[in-house]
Structures are given as structure tokens and as C-alpha cells.
Structure 1
Amino acid sequence: MNAVMSIQPGKLTRLPARRGVAIRLKQGQSIKLINTHGKQVVDTWAFNPADLAEAMSMEHSRAFWLKLNPSEGDSFLTNKRQKILTLTEDTTPGVHDTLVAACDPTRYVQLGVVGHHDSCNENLFLALENLGLKVHETPSPLNLFMNVPVHQDGCIEFAAPVSEPGQYVCLKAEMDAIVVLSACPQDITAVNGMQPQDVHYSVN
């Protein structure tokens, strides 16, 4: 079941495999996201609680950085070009993805899945619903720990994460924000090493 959390500062909380959570952050607070088993992708969104139409935007962020992948110190912009989160610490090799849309029911049909399959898109809507909130579309997520190599010929590949157990990232809120995390349920491609697993996080 997806959850909404009012979190005790510093408390380590488990996010189960295939599930999502919505977390309210005040400006200046940080969330630490630990890749507990090393190979789990976490789709990540951030919204302005005063206006949910304003959300963290990978398109605007890439133009701000002039690169595909964020590094420590880089801030993520909203679709109104305001800073919303900053990557303050990253103990992984720094391989994350800003290109690929969240998995959704249609994507799993295209991959040959018959019947229901959990998805990051559904996790986003369910997590916000638990806060009594609703968005009308799914922004392109920050896919933390996801390894999508861009080859010289311009092609991309879905590869297993290169992070190791216990490595983590820290994201600082530059404004009040609602952050949604989804422990990606993808088990058809290699992005989670074919085995979705839990992760842990804390808020400070």
C-alpha cells in the first residue's frame, strides 16, 4: 500500500519494493535516500504544495545544468524555473537518469505483460491521493540510481544500476515541497537488476 508520511526527523523509514510514498518537506529540510540493496531505482518527483501544476522538471533542469546527469551541488528546477531541490550529497558513482518517463500500465502492455502490473505512474497518483491531492499529468521523473547509457550513435540502453548497497543521495528542499518516491516495480527490463527491492529514507 502506498503511504503518506509525517516523518520524525532522522528516523529511518522503509519504502517497500513496488510502492510509493508522498512526503512533505519544509524549505531547508533534506531527504536522504538509501539504496539499501544497491540496485533499486527510485522514481522521484517534487511539487510546489501551493500550486501542484508547478513541479520539478527534468527538461528545465537539463537546460540549467547543460548536461544530462546531475552532480553534487546541482539544483533541480520546476517548470516555472524555480529551484525546488538540490542534490547535496551523492555517494553513488553518480549515475542517475533524467530522460525516461515513469513506467505505467501502457508501458507494461507494450512489454507483453498480461493483467495488472504495479507502476511508478500509479504509485505517484496513489501517494498524492493519500494526501488528498491530485495532479492531472505525470511529470517526467528524476530516476535516481537508474542507469540509462547514451551511446555514441545516440541510442540508449536500459542497464542495471551501478550503485552498491548502502550508497545514498541527499536532496535539500529549496522551497516547501511535496516529494514523491516510487520504488520502481519494473521487473521486465534490467533497470532494477530484474528484482525490485525496498529502499530506506530519512528526513532531516
Structure 2
Amino acid sequence: TIMFSIGGATYTEGGFSEPDAINSASTIWQTFGPSNPEPWHRSFADAVINGFNFNSEFPATNMPAFGNRPRKLMNGQQDRAFSLTAAPPYSFPDNNVGNVLKNVQLDVIFVQFHNNPQYGLDAFTYGAPTGFKFDQWDQQAREESVSKNFKMMVDAPGSQDVAPSSGYVDAGQLGQIVEYSKRFSSMGGVMA
């Protein structure tokens, strides 16, 4: 699966007008989505991505308009499945991805349970009230998101070097977190 990730820790553009958001999403779709007979520069020739991921770590305007454009184009494809995903930091609704969660039909939500000492994976204690709030994400996402059939993935850092401030756990503790999280129908797996 190849996802086109939009945003990240270093993206600071701040967003678009609504028409620019829609046009930008259309351009990305033409460049990386299914090829069409119209002449268009395609960065990877006939290679096609499997979807888009919203990883906005800074505020950006009109992201719902941006996200709804590829959703509309994806829904028109009969021969291939595509996905729209988001990778918000722990807090819900996240100030940067929150509007996307509330207004765009997402397939998968990769919750970043790291770099947040109070709520990271390392705050999990099996069988006790815990700072790890998969249950809260599950409930709030179901109540506030337009996506009702989404899956949530636990975004776990693969090493302590990746998440130096907090969130790294060893395989044994991650196994306990997965076991706990499987009780929620939204649990889709782990991304490391």
C-alpha cells in the first residue's frame, strides 16, 4: 500500500482558499491517482497510489474541502479501492486534523500515541485506569466523525530514537496494549 501523506512536522503552509484546496487535491489526484487519457505530467508514470493520509501538525484552512475532493474521485472508481486516512496526535479533536475528522469520510485513523508523556503508550497499565485512552478515541471518533465504519490503528514508534520524549514500549507491553484495544470494534491494528 502506498499512501500520499500530506503535512507532517515540517509542513507550515497554512492552507488554501476553498477553490485552491479543491484544485490542489484534483492536481494531486491527476498526478498520482489513476491515469487518464488527458495529457498530464505524472511523477511515477503509470504507478498509482492507494490513497491519501492527512498528517497536519500545523493549522491549515479548508482541509475538509481538500479531503472531500479525493473522496469524491475515489468513490467514482470501480476497478480499484482507495483509502483516505488521518494521523492525528493524541488529543481529540486535534486542532489541526480535527476538521478533517469531523467533515471527511475517513477509512483509517492512525492515532499517534507517542510524544505525549501523559497519554502515550508508555502510560498504559494493564487492568488499571490508564493514560492510554484508546477507549476515549473510539467513543469520540464514533460520536464526532462523519466516518462510521473507520478503523483505528495504534501508531507505535519502532524505537526510542523515533519518539524520544515518550511513547516507546517494548514488544511485551505493546502486546498487552493490542490485547486491550482488540475489545473495540474500531481496532484495526498497529503501525510502527
Higher strand share: 1
Q: TM-score, normalised by structure 1?
A: 0.28
Q: Which has the higher contact order (CA 8 A, sep 6+)?
A: 1
Higher helix share: 2
Larger radius of gyration: 2
